[in-house]
Structure 1
Amino acid sequence: MSAVRRHDTPPPRTGSSESEVLRGFLDYLRASVAAKAAGAPEPQVRTAAVASGTNLLGLVNHLAHVERATFLGERVTDWQGTFQAPPDATAAEVIARYREAVERANEVLDGCTDLSAPLSRRHRPGRPGPSVRWALTHMIEETGRHAGHADILRELIDGATGR
C-alpha cells in the first residue's frame, strides 16, 4: 500500500459575522468528509475497520441523515441503522446523497437571518425545533467528530492522509 499524502487545507477564512463563521467551518468539515470517502476502493470503503463496525461509507450515510434530521426536520427512527450505507448503493451514490443533503440544508440556512430562531419541525407539530445557532454548532461537532473518524478509516484503507 503506497500512502497518498495530500496537503492539508487550512481552516477557512470566513466573514466576521457569527453566521458566516459557523457556516464556513461547517462547510469546511462537510467537504473534508466527502473528500475522505471519494475515491476510496470498494469493498474497503464499506468494510468495518474497527471493532465497533464503523466504516467510511457508513459515516457518510449517517451524516446525510443527521443533516436531513437537523435542518430539514426529517424523522429518523433507527439511528444505529444509518451507520450502514445501503448495500445496493455505490460509494459515489452515497456521497452524492450526502452532498444533496448538505445542499438542501444550506438552502434552509440561506433563509435564516436570526440564529436564535427555531428551525421548522414539520414531522413534530407543536414541538419547536432547536435554534439555528444550536443546530449549526451541533452539526460542526457531529461532522468534526466523524471527520476525525473518517481520517483514520481512510488511512487504514489505503494510507491516504490529509484533507
Structure 2
Amino acid sequence: MSQPDDDRSAAFGDTGEAAVLAEFLGYKREAIINKVADLPDAVAHSAGVPSGTSLAWLIKHLTASERLWFGGATIDEWEALSILDANETVADLVADYRRATQESDAIIAGWTDLDQVIDEPPNARPRATARWIMQHLISETARHAGHADILREQIDGAVGR
C-alpha cells in the first residue's frame, strides 16, 4: 500500500464510502506495522511508558481488536488474545496481525450496506452498524498509531510514517 505524503489514500475521490473507509483503515494498519518492522524483538517488547505499553503490545492488542470486531472473537477470547508473550517475535506478531486484517477485509468485502446492523453479537461485543464498526476500528488503529509514533521516537528518534 502506498503512503502518500499528503495523507490522501488511493481511494481519494468518488470511490464510495465503504472503499474510502477500508482504505483509511488499511493505511493506519500499515503505519502501525511500519513502526515495528525493523526493530529487534527485545526493543519492540520494551515498555516505553509507565503503563507498560510497548510497540509489540500495540500490535498484539490491535490483532485482538480486529478479531473481536470483525471476526467474532468473544470478549474473554479478546482479553486472552491481548496478552503479550515475551517470546513472541516482531515477525510473528506482524504476520498474525496481517492474517487478522486479511480475515477482517474478507468480512468487510461482504458488507453491502454500511447501515446494516451487525446483529450477531454472540461474542458479547456491542451490537452496531457496519459503518460504526469500521469507524471504531479506524479510530482505534489511528489512536494506537499515534502511541506507536511516540514510542518509536523514544526508542531511536525515528519519526514519520
Q: Does the alignment reach a TM-score above 0.5?
A: yes
1:90 aligns to 2:86 (yes or no): no
Distance 1:36 1:63 in 2: 14
The whole-number CA distance in structure 2 between the counterparts of 1:23 and 1:150 is: 21
Structure 1: distance between partners of 2:80 and 2:147: 18
Does the Cα contact within 8 Å between 2:55 and 2:148 map onto a contact in 1?
Answer: yes
Q: Are 1:71 and 1:105, in contact at CA under 8 Å, matched by a contact in 2?
A: yes
What is residue 141 of structure 2 aligned with on the other side?
A: 143
Runs of 4+ more than 6 Å apart: none
Q: Is the 8 A contact 2:73 2:123 kept in 1?
A: no
User: Percent identity, aligned pairs only?
Assistant: 38
Distance 2:38 2:90 in 1: 8
Query: SS where residue 39 of structure 1 aligns?
Result: coil
Q: TM-score, normalised by structure 2?
A: 0.86
Q: Deviations over 1:43-82 (max 9, x none)?
A: 1101111011110000010000000000111113276665
Give the unaligned 5+ runs of structure 2. none
Residue in 2 that maps onto 1:160: 158
- Give the deviation of 1:157 after TM superposition: 1.3
In the alignment, residue 134 of structure 1 is paired with which amino acid?
Answer: W
Structure 1: state its 5+ residue gaps.
Answer: 1-6
Deviation at 1:128, TM superposition (A): 7.5
Cα distance in 2, alignment partners of residues 114 and 148 from structure 1: 30
Q: Aligned equivalents of 1:56 and 1:137: distance in 2?
A: 23
Distance in 2 separating the partners of 1:138 and 1:111:
18
- Cα pair 2:64 2:82 within 8 Å, conserved: no
1:47 aligns with 2:50: no
2:159 aligned counterpart, secondary structure: coil
8 Å Cα contact 1:22/1:136 also seen in 2:
yes
Partner residue of 2:6? Answer: 10
Q: Distance in 1 between matches of 2:35 and 2:126?
A: 35
Normalised to the residue count of structure 1, the TM-score between the two structures is 0.85
Q: Which residue of 2 aligns with 1:71?
A: 70
Cα RMSD, aligned residues only: 2.4
